[in-house]
Structure 1
Amino acid sequence: MRNAPSRRDGERCEMCAEPVEQSHPHVVDLDSRELMCTCRPCSFLFVPEGAAAGRYRAVPERYQQFPEFALTRAQWEALGVPVGMAFFFRNSRLGRVVAFYPSPAGATESELTVAGWEEVVAVNPGLADAEPDVEAVLVADRNVEGPVGAGEDAFDCFLVPIDACYELVGHLRRQWRGFDGGQEVRERLQRFFDDLRTRSRPVRTGQEAS
């Protein structure tokens, strides 16, 4: 999927050409895998399932954290993700879950092992509630988030709008310096996860995720 476009003065809705605010909704074009900037009235048109013959879907604004998320280091390595953070979502056109991780080149797809992901979901069934194409499961090794989890052998897990993931990827790509990204990238990651914790509703085992 193409990264969400950066903010520009005079940015307009890509559906009706009306001006949009800096914080505005997005719609996913399922055929091109592009994120489209939209005004709120236009985004509402694509909330119902099957709208526009199923080509477009509005990105929700749901944020959740899974405090009881269970993942071992061995399970993470079995997923085949080469870094400590990735987001996972179901691509309805491909009919499977795909995984992407941030890199200097932008969002990079990882060759996800299906069996490994199914094992993770079996232990954490709430992850299956993410809406295809428009919501992602973001998993991060606490060692990549900054001081909050430094040194801990544990992972955090959030359910987030897909545009939040691509916004983060875009910021990291622009700020990346050297081999490991540099201090700016580390500070950006810490701010991002601090913000996620603030806005996310905790969902525990047995709770409805909606």
Structure 2
Amino acid sequence: MNGPPNGTVRAPRPTGLRRFTTPRPPREERCEMCGARLAGEHHPHLVDVDKRALVCACGPCSQLMDRSAGSQGRFRAVPGRFLSDPGHRIDDRTWETLRIPVSVAFFFHNSALDRPVALYPSPAGATESELEESAWRSVLDATQLAAHLEADVEALLLRRHEGRTECFLVPIDICYELVGRMRLLWQGFDGGAEARADLDALFTRVRDLASEPQGSRP
């Protein structure tokens, strides 16, 4: 996914994905559809499926433009659910097949490309890992969350930490928030203490919000 293009005369207010990756002074954020003021950091987002971009939106515009709610447009609202799968079977062997060079990655199905996409945070931003079909299938087969995943707007978020892998289904904007924060805070080869502490805090928030899906296996 890409953020909106940069301005050519005056640096514009960060919008979409760029609000997670650009240092900015405190100021009001506005809906990119109607210009209404947005309250707080956690306002709704839409995915522009055609442009593969996140769009900040107010509640009414999010409902109006969401094609999953019945419209025929190109936008889909990012849902707010967080799910966990403590009984997943993503083991060391599965992780190694992914060939991810860091301890965090997220996966989603991109409907415009009609294929799964695997990304991980880096000092340069979101970096795509070329997945073989067998590697992607090994993840899908190892977690019940794959059956709940909505294309474009939700992702499987994995973290290899302290000898085990955590597996969550999260809104896609959380993943790009993670990428942006790592890009801003990353220092040295391994990210540095500040980036690791920020990553710990984000995953603590995800754990607190996540629940197991209904009908989950014992």
TM-score (normalised: structure 1)? 0.87
Q: Specify which of 24, 36, 49 is matched with residue 43 of structure 2.
A: 24
Contact 1:84 1:140 in 2 (8 A): yes
Kindly indicate whether the alpha-carbon contact (under 8 Å) linking 1:45 and 1:51 is maintained by their aligned counterparts in 2: no
> 1:56 Cα shift?
0.6
Q: Aligned ranges for residues 174-189 of structure 1 at < 5 Å? A: 174-189=184-199
Q: Deviations over 1:7-43 (max 9, x none)?
A: 7512210011111112210001111111110001111
Alignment partner for residue 32 of structure 2, among 2, 14, 18?
A: 14
Residues 81 and 112 in structure 1, CA contact (< 8 A), matched pair in contact too:
no
Are the equivalent residues in 2 in contact too, given 1:140–1:156 (CA < 8 A)?
yes
Distance in 2 (CA, whole Å) between partners of 1:125 and 1:181 is 31
Q: Classify 1:41/1:50 alpha carbon distance in 2 versus 1 (closer, same or farther; 3 Å).
A: closer
Alignment match, 1:155: 165
Partner of 1:146: none
1:75 aligned onto 2:94: yes
Supply the AA of the counterpart residue of 1:120: V
Match among 69, 75, 82 for residue 63 of structure 1:
82
Contact 2:145/2:168 (CA < 8 Å) preserved in 1?
no
Q: Give 1:103's aligned amino acid.
A: S
Per-residue CA deviation, residues 37-82 of structure 1 (Å, 9 max, x unaligned), is 0001111123452755341101000101111011121111112222
Paired residue for 1:147? Answer: none
Structure 2 match to 1:172 = 182
Contact 2:107 2:119 in 1 (8 A): yes
Against the structure 1 CA distance between its residues 114 and 59, is the aligned structure 2 distance closer, same or farther, given a 3 Å change threshold?
Answer: same
Gaps in structure 2 of 5+ consecutive residues: 4-16
Structure 1 unmatched ranges of 5 or more: 143-149
Give the direction of change, closer, same or farther, for the CA distance of 1:199–1:77 in structure 2 (3 Å limit). same
Q: Which moved more, 1:157-166 or 1:74-83?
A: 74-83
Deviation of 1:118 (Å)? 1.1
Corresponding letter in the other structure for 1:2? N
Name the counterpart of 2:2.
2
Residues in 2 aligned to 1:129 and 1:5: alpha-carbon distance in whole angstroms: 28
Distance in 2 of aligned mates of 1:96 and 1:121 = 13
CA distance in 1, matches of 2:170, 2:18: 18
Q: Assess, with a 3 A threshold, how the Cα gap between structure 1 residues 64 and 50 changes in structure 2: closer, same or farther.
A: closer
Q: Which amino acid aligns with 1:24?
A: H
The letter of the residue matching 1:170 is: G
**How far off is 1:169 after superposition?**
0.7
8 Å contact from structure 1 (residues 30, 55) kept in 2: yes
- Looking at structure 2, the residues matched to 123 and 99 of structure 1 have their Cα atoms a distance apart, in angstroms, of 16
Count of residue pairs brought into register by the alignment: 198
8 A contact 2:88–2:144 mirrored in 1: no
3-state SS, counterpart of residue 201 of structure 1: coil
Please report the TM-score for the alignment, with normalisation by the length of structure 2.
0.84
